[in-house]
Structure 1
Amino acid sequence: MFPALRCLATHARPFDIPVLDRSRSAPQTEMRMTVDAEQSALSGVSRVEVVGAVEMALRGREVSRLSTPHHRSTVPLRVGLSEADRSSVDRLGQVHLQSLSGGMVPLAELVNTEETVRHQSISRKNGKRVIYVMGEVAGELESPVYAMLDMAETLDEIQVAGGAPLGRLFTREPVVTERPVMKWDGEWQVTYEVFRDLGIAFAGAILLIYVLIVAWFGSFVTPLVMMAAIPLTLIGIAPGHYFAGAFFTATSMIGMIALAGIMVRNGILLIDYLEARLRAGVPLKQAILQAGAVRTRPILVTAVTVIIGAIVILFDPIFQGLAVSLMAGAFASTILTLVVVPGLYFLIKRGWTEEAVQ
């Protein structure tokens, strides 16, 4: 995984990554001191005294407590070596201990010092060993998706043991961990799960709207004409985010879901009045013109109220995406709904009429 870390470091500068770190630290050495039992016995210093002297030198030892008028409780008094005196093994070895004979014995003669490599801490996630490579994307492009796409080609060049390419996973955890696998996580995982859940909710909302309209109008085709206004919102939402300089966030998706019901309502207003005129014996073309003339005002009023209500949250950093989706989507979809929905209804009805005549 260290080549992947180097790849991240190489691509950090174009994306303004101020923080780049990893959970696996560099190898660290530590000094282990063990009491020399034979030398300790010959010197007349017990093992307990040796361990106590080392502990006091490194950590300090509380020898008493002091009462002062400026403190509500007693203040501990600790005895220990200064940082300079315990900064190296040689200086620590100069600490002297008193033997049974009354002589002073240096600590270096009573212990054996061994330099070893400190054991690395092992991070696990769901029972699998992991090494976290962490970076924070900043600058104009704050979404991690852009950094991930930019590093794709370089990551393809990384090979693990055996010459195999480094596997990369985006949405699921690795099943086999016999060789290194790279899993994008963190903010990307949260973004994926949020949009996945909102997409499922959006599909469920559209299905529920369709079922309700089918039950009301008794037709499977007419509701599809009314719901044609839903994809028309994208014609306004996508350019709206571009010109507003806003990212398409989770709140933008929530705005799309809310806008779906509003735009279907406009289609219902048109088709409901149109079919009422058809039942009254008005020709198809005339009924479409009358429906447009009568229902245009309430449809426009609905769009204007949505836009005015969204202006309040347009400059909020969190809900800006919601405001842009509502305003741009309502504007574009309303204008196009007045043309597309009657046009689709006319084409479908005319086709049915020609088939009936034939």
Structure 2
Amino acid sequence: MTFRQASFIEASITTLQGKLIGASVFVAVILFFFLGTLRPTIIALTAIPVSIFITALVFKYFGLSINTMTLGGLAIAIGGLVDDAVVGVENVLRRLKADRANHPHSRLHPIEVVAHATMEVRSAILYATVIIVLVFIPLFALPGLEGKLFVPLGIAFIVSTLASLIVSVTVTPVLSFYLLPRMKNLDHGDTKVLAWLKARYRSSLQGVLDRPKAAMAAAGAAVLVAAVAVPFFPTTFLPPFNEGTLLVGLRLNPGVTLTETSALARQAEVLVKQVPEVTHVGRRSGRAELDEHAEGVHVSELDVGLKPTAELTRSMDEIKADIRKRLVNLPAALEIGQPISHRIDHMLSGVRSQIAIKIFGEDLDALRGQADALRAKLATIPGIADLQIEKQVLAPQIKVRVDYAAAAQYGVPAPQVLSALQALVEGEKVTQIVEGGRRFALVVKLPESARSVEGLGQILIETPNGRIPLSKIATIEDGDGPNQISRDDGKRRIVLSANASGRALSEIVADIRKVAAETKLPEGYFITLGGQFQAQEEASRLVGLLSIVSLTLMFVVLYSRYKSAALSALIMVNIPLALVGAVIGLWLSGQPLSVAALVGFITLAGISVRNGILKVSHYINLMRFEGESFDQKMILRGSLERLSPVLMTALVTAFALAPLLFEAEQPGTEVLHPVAVVIFSGLISSTLLDTFLTPAMFWLFGRKPAEALLDDKDAEAL
């Protein structure tokens, strides 16, 4: 077997299972690094298996499958699964330490401390989780292929995130009550690393609070540069899959015999086997009529098996270029892709290539002439590969023209003549023959010897006055005509197809559009472009609209919580701060702007606001319940107390994606790699900038809305 789709799926699932295990290890190391002891680390880590178990139960109940995209959703969410538990555990530890320090002789009962600490952060956890879920919901409106890919990812992400919320308000407090109050090192304070971080953070934050406008101006400049850089990124629809098999298509002119096609394909097979990375080559010519990708015998396909990715010494583009170089002298149109990728291209544009240039017009000869001229111009574009014109050739035909006047004299309707001729030439099923368990259709048609000008002329046609030869009522002559006439929306067209090689697809398409705009066509003729880039552009527009919906929902949720547009906007500033890191991450990794990267941006928007919610809520709670005033001392205290949970949640979420940052071409990680790059780098930048900017902005703009919230006597803890 030269290609087995299940092998690609199995390899993808195995890869993602390994990534999930690697992510769990990263999470455990970071939690232990910050918490310093085993018990709180175990409590926080419990959220991962319990949340995944709940997700599996939900999937089982609703009949959903575990596949590469649902596993991908879990891989992206796995760091966030412990976030709610981390916030709860850290606050319980802080309150237990404070109770032990403030009431050395008359301590509160541990259950009161745990309950109070959990309720203190419950609201912030709830709203942060709701926002993350709301941000993902508009993705369910994605249509087509991108919807089928990312909707399962979104379902897995949302279900597991909601499960982690349930765990954080049920299992986490119970485990905290049983395991934390008796810890011997509650009196030891912060770990050495955290104490060192807080000391440096205090002095740095004080400097920012003394000059908040300068810090905001610097951050604003960074955001502006990142936003301006986005349109200059090359774009693509989806990252290329690594299926482990290449598909080489060879197209001869229609009408070529199977023997000739097979001989050429055999020659190509020998040449391809000489490529060092190739392990085996399978060959087939033509496809059956009932195949959904039916082809004539003039088309041959080679399934080219490659060595495992770890053993490859050259990139996929270099291997494809080597194959093209070896096959360039064969008298056939060449196209190189991958089996599944070819089917995706076929679904998007109707051709098995990344780019489809369609010329529309009425005259077939003029279409072929325009296609030849356009092909000559496009061939000069750097990076364009496998450029070919749709095989429309003149095939030998016998043309029968009915003389309507002569047919009328013999009393024969012209449609009756054509119907009889069609039945004799194409054949007519008259009965069925049964031999044992096998059934055969008995078809009556003309013998091959009668399929000529002379033979057809002697066919006898029934008339009211007896039979007459067809030659008496029709003109029969040799000629030629197109082997096929293709139409889109009722208009005749011819297609030029091409792939991108060694250059960004968006850059090649820009050059093609420039050439097409400069090409002068006869009146009534026009050119359209389709393929992966068109799907990318449409998906980008839709994701942009969905992003507006997500941001609106986010603002509404924040406003319902804080009753202030200023505080809601202050928290949402984390989103453009995250854009800075995301753009830098895409640039450093050399990733184009794909639909996967755009989904990463949307996910990042929801995750990045968590830090702002934790900080702002804590500032207000300090003023409401602990008698603090609105001043820099309160902001310093609140920021220092929230430094540990903010860093832990952000770093855990970011570094849980680290396994997806490497081996980007492994099966299963191709689509998830850009998502991971965007979220990882965006979270790093938003956390670093938010650590200083949120306190600065709260100092500048937070006094009035904070005082308004304090005047609301019915409000609960934020």
- Give the shorter-chain TM-score range: 0.5 to 0.7
SS in 1 for 2:385: coil
Give the letter for the 1:310 counterpart. Answer: L
Give the letter for the 1:306 counterpart. Answer: T
Task: Name the structure 2 match of 1:114.
Answer: 477
Task: Name the structure 1 match of 2:649.
Answer: 302
Task: Name the structure 2 match of 1:348.
Answer: 701
Structure-2 change in CA distance of 1:30 and 1:149 (3 Å) = farther
Structure-2 change in CA distance of 1:73 and 1:334 (3 Å) = same
Task: Name the structure 2 match of 1:204.
Answer: 549
After superposition, residues 109-188 of structure 1 pair within 5 angstroms as 113-116=476-479, 118=481, 121=485, 123-125=487-489, 128-141=490-503, 143=505, 145-161=506-522, 179-188=524-533
Give the letter for the 2:551 counterpart. Answer: I
Structure-2 change in CA distance of 1:290 and 1:26 (3 Å) = same
Structure-2 change in CA distance of 1:203 and 1:8 (3 Å) = farther
Structure-2 change in CA distance of 1:57 and 1:130 (3 Å) = closer
> Which of 210, 223, 228 is the aligned partner of 2:568?
223
Task: Name the structure 1 match of 2:248.
Answer: none
SS in 1 for 2:671: coil
Normalising to structure 1: TM-score of the pair? 0.67
Matching of residue 286 in structure 1 with residue 633 in structure 2:
yes
* Alignment RMSD: 4.6
Give the letter for the 1:286 counterpart. Answer: K
* Cα distance, 1:260 vs structure 2: 1.2
Structure-2 change in CA distance of 1:132 and 1:301 (3 Å) = farther
Structure-2 change in CA distance of 1:9 and 1:88 (3 Å) = farther
**Aligned partners of 2:586 and 2:641: how far apart in 1?**
32
Matching of residue 324 in structure 1 with residue 677 in structure 2:
yes
**Aligned partners of 1:59 and 1:272: how far apart in 2?**
80
**Aligned partners of 1:257 and 1:245: how far apart in 2?**
20
Q: Is the 8 A contact 2:399 2:479 kept in 1?
A: yes
Matching of residue 261 in structure 1 with residue 614 in structure 2:
no
**Aligned partners of 1:317 and 1:218: how far apart in 2?**
42
* Cα distance, 1:57 vs structure 2: 11
Structure-2 change in CA distance of 1:132 and 1:268 (3 Å) = farther
Task: Name the structure 2 match of 1:189.
Answer: 534
Larger RCO, structures 1/2 (Cα 8 Å, 6+ apart): 2
Task: Name the structure 1 match of 2:585.
Answer: 240
**How many residues in Structure 1 have an aligned counterpart in Structure 2?**
315
Structure 1: segments with no counterpart, 5+ residues: 39-50, 98-106, 163-178, 353-358
* Cα distance, 1:108 vs structure 2: 10
Q: Is the 8 A contact 1:17 1:135 kept in 2?
A: no
After superposition, residues 20-169 of structure 1 pair within 5 angstroms as 20-22=388-390, 25-28=392-395, 30-32=398-400, 113-116=476-479, 118=481, 121=485, 123-125=487-489, 128-141=490-503, 143=505, 145-161=506-522
**Aligned partners of 2:497 and 2:623: how far apart in 1?**
63
SS in 1 for 2:500: coil
Kindly name which structure, 1 or 2, has the bigger radius of gyration based on alpha carbons: 1
Structure-2 change in CA distance of 1:187 and 1:130 (3 Å) = farther
Task: Name the structure 1 match of 2:374.
Answer: 7
Task: Name the structure 2 match of 1:271.
Answer: 616
**Aligned partners of 1:182 and 1:61: how far apart in 2?**
42
**Aligned partners of 1:249 and 1:227: how far apart in 2?**
24
**Aligned partners of 2:559 and 2:685: how far apart in 1?**
26
**Aligned partners of 2:443 and 2:556: how far apart in 1?**
78
**Aligned partners of 1:262 and 1:55: how far apart in 2?**
67
Structure-2 change in CA distance of 1:77 and 1:285 (3 Å) = closer
**Aligned partners of 1:55 and 1:198: how far apart in 2?**
52
SS in 2 for 1:221: helix
**Aligned partners of 1:5 and 1:350: how far apart in 2?**
70
Shifted more, 336-345 versus 203-212: the winner is 336-345
- What do residues 8-35 of structure 1 show as CA deviations (whole Å, max 9, x unaligned)? 5532463343253348x34555444879
**Aligned partners of 1:88 and 1:80: how far apart in 2?**
11
Q: Is the 8 A contact 2:622 2:634 kept in 1?
A: yes
Q: Is the 8 A contact 1:229 1:263 kept in 2?
A: yes
* Cα distance, 1:224 vs structure 2: 0.9
**Aligned partners of 1:218 and 1:344: how far apart in 2?**
17
SS in 1 for 2:587: helix
SS in 2 for 1:246: coil
* Cα distance, 1:180 vs structure 2: 3.1
* Cα distance, 1:350 vs structure 2: 8.1
Task: Name the structure 1 match of 2:386.
Answer: 18
Q: Is the 8 A contact 1:32 1:116 kept in 2?
A: no
Give the letter for the 2:385 counterpart. Answer: I
* Cα distance, 1:237 vs structure 2: 1.5
Structure-2 change in CA distance of 1:59 and 1:258 (3 Å) = closer
Structure-2 change in CA distance of 1:285 and 1:110 (3 Å) = closer
Q: Is the 8 A contact 2:566 2:702 kept in 1?
A: no
Give the letter for the 2:648 counterpart. Answer: V
Structure 2: segments with no counterpart, 5+ residues: 1-358, 360-366, 407-417, 461-469, 706-718
Task: Name the structure 2 match of 1:311.
Answer: 658
* Cα distance, 1:256 vs structure 2: 1.5
Structure-2 change in CA distance of 1:277 and 1:9 (3 Å) = farther
Q: Is the 8 A contact 2:388 2:497 kept in 1?
A: yes
* Cα distance, 1:228 vs structure 2: 0.6
* Cα distance, 1:76 vs structure 2: 7.7
Give the letter for the 1:246 counterpart. Answer: Q
Give the letter for the 1:334 counterpart. Answer: T
Structure-2 change in CA distance of 1:203 and 1:349 (3 Å) = same
Task: Name the structure 2 match of 1:355.
Answer: none
* Cα distance, 1:227 vs structure 2: 0.6
Q: Is the 8 A contact 1:8 1:151 kept in 2?
A: no
Q: Is the 8 A contact 2:516 2:527 kept in 1?
A: no
Q: Is the 8 A contact 1:57 1:86 kept in 2?
A: no
Structure-2 change in CA distance of 1:344 and 1:183 (3 Å) = farther
* Cα distance, 1:114 vs structure 2: 2.1
SS in 2 for 1:247: coil
**Aligned partners of 1:196 and 1:31: how far apart in 2?**
50
